[in-house]
């Protein structure tokens, strides 16, 4: 018998397919055959903790758990990739601060609304929503009086979100953050930093599974959504569904930021590409009346 992780029998092809399909059904993430070792390694550690003798037994246990969601939560915590950092993808951050945010504020205010909603979907350990909060604070003095900005940050990995709520980070994760922002919004803490109170106050963390299409509108309509480096791990059908759901949750003319390898245009005709300083940075919803499907250059 092949032994994978210290004492736990190796993952057979059949077990791999069962577990991979189960994970796909629950959260949209899909492990190609080449990721079998990754899954074996990650879940093997969990089996060892539980004292479960084989992956088949583990699969049976989670199937039989019925309404008990605690083990699927363990799986989410274990198999998701939470790599992130402050100010990830600088051109997108500059476009957000200098173009998208002012435009969204102006649009909101002229429509009579006094509340602007930004969503970081798949926020991992929180560096993305906190960066957005810093940029909002940077621009706030130019906002019309009375405008309220809310940043919602969601994920399925609750361990990552505990880190996010604590707001304490290594020096490495803030390396790409411009010095001025680092000085204004991060407080030295041990070998790294702690996010200052006014940045933390702008961000609300919640659990949300993007593969759960029925609940998207529970947070209300959004003006700007960041869903970056999340859907690369999804199977195509699940990814397409999320783009469709995001297109519905966005306010008419709202903006969607994705990672550079996640092409929303290919996946959904609801979006059109937005350029800033000659490069594509995000998408704008075009499905609603008044927005044609064309490239927008700034
Ligand atoms: C690589 S991190 C990206 C973090 C951040 N958006 C960035 O670009 O730096 C991907 C995150 O997506 C989350 N994720 C994966 N599947 C998800 C799902 N079905 N619903 C919500 N979040 C999910 C993971 O838990 C992980 O924290």
What's the start-to-end Cα distance of the chain, in Å? 61
CATH number of 13-79: 1.10.155
pLDDT at site 67: 62
C-alpha distances in angstroms, 187 versus 204, 235, 286? 20, 40, 41
CA-nearest residue for atom 9, ligand 1, is: 84
| Binding site membership of 132 for ligand 1 (Cβ less than 6 Å) | no
Q: Where are the domains of the chain?
A: 13-79, 90-285
Question: Mean pLDDT over residues 256-285, rounded?
Answer: 87
Higher-confidence residue of 115 and 5: namely 115
Question: Mean pLDDT over residues 267-291, rounded?
Answer: 82
For the entire predicted model, the pTM comes to 0.93
| CA–CA dist 42, 150 (Å, integer) | 35
Q: Which atom in ligand 1 lies closest to the alpha carbon of residue 259?
A: 8
| Binding site membership of 164 for ligand 1 (Cβ less than 6 Å) | no
Match domain 90-285 to its CATH number in 3.10.20.30, 3.40.190.10, 3.40.50.150, 3.20.20.70: 3.40.50.150
Percent of the chain whose pLDDT exceeds 70: 92
CB of 155 within 8 A of CB of 208?
A: yes
CA triple 29-273-216, angle to 5 deg? 45
User: What separation in Å is there between the alpha carbon of 123 and the centre of ligand 1?
Assistant: 6
User: What separation in Å is there between the alpha carbon of 182 and the centre of ligand 1?
Assistant: 24
Question: Mean pLDDT over residues 259-276, rounded?
Answer: 82
With 90 as the cut, is the pLDDT of residue 8 above it?
no
With 90 as the cut, is the pLDDT of residue 193 above it?
yes
| CA–CA dist 233, 54 (Å, integer) | 26
With 70 as the cut, is the pLDDT of residue 293 above it?
no
pLDDT at site 116: 97
pLDDT at site 7: 67
Burial classification of residue 33, based on how many CB atoms lie within 10 Å of its CB (0-12 exposed, 13-18 middle, 19 or more buried)? exposed
CA-nearest residue for atom 14, ligand 1, is: 122
Lowest mean pLDDT among 44-48, 120-124, 202-206: 44-48
Which range of 158-167, 208-217, 233-242 scores highest in mean pLDDT? It is 158-167
pLDDT at site 6: 60
Count the alpha carbons within 13 Å of 93 in the hemisphere toward its beta carbon.
20
Mean pLDDT of the chain: 91
């Amino acid at each position: 018998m092949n032994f994978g992780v210290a004492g736990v029998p190796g993952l057979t092809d059949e077990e791999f397919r069962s577990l991979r399909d189960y994970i796909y059904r629950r959260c949209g993430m899909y492990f190609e055959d080449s990721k079998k070792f990754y899954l074996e390694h990650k879940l093997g550690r969990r089996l060892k903790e539980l004292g479960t003798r084989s992956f088949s037994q583990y699969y049976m246990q989670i199937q039989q758990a019925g309404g008990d969601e605690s083990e699927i939560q363990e799986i989410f915590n274990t198999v998701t990739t939470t790599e992130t950092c402050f100010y990830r993808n600088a051109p997108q951050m500059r476009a957000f601060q200098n173009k998208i945010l002012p435009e969204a504020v102006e649009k909101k205010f002229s429509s009579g609304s006094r509340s602007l909603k930004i969503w970081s979907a798949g926020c991992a350990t929180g560096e993305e929503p906190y960066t957005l909060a810093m940029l909002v604070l940077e621009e706030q003095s130019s906002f019309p009086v009375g405008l309220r900005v809310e940043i919602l940050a969601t994920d399925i990995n609750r361990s990552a979100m505990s880190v996010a709520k604590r707001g304490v980070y290594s020096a490495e994760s803030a390396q790409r953050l411009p010095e001025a922002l680092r000085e204004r919004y991060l407080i030295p803490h041990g070998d790294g930093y702690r996010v200052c109170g006014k940045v933390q106050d702008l961000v609300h963390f919640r659990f949300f599974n993007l593969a759960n299409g029925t609940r998207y509108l529970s947070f209300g309509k959004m003006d700007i959504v960041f869903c970056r480096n999340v859907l690369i791990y999804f199977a195509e059908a699940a990814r397409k569904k999320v783009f469709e759901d995001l297109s519905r949750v966005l306010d008419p003319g709202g903006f969607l930021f994705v990672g550079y390898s996640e092409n929303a245009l290919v996946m959904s005709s609801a979006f059109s590409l937005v350029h800033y300083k000659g490069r594509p940075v995000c998408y704008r919803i075009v499905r609603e009346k008044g927005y044609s499907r064309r490239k927008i250059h700034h």
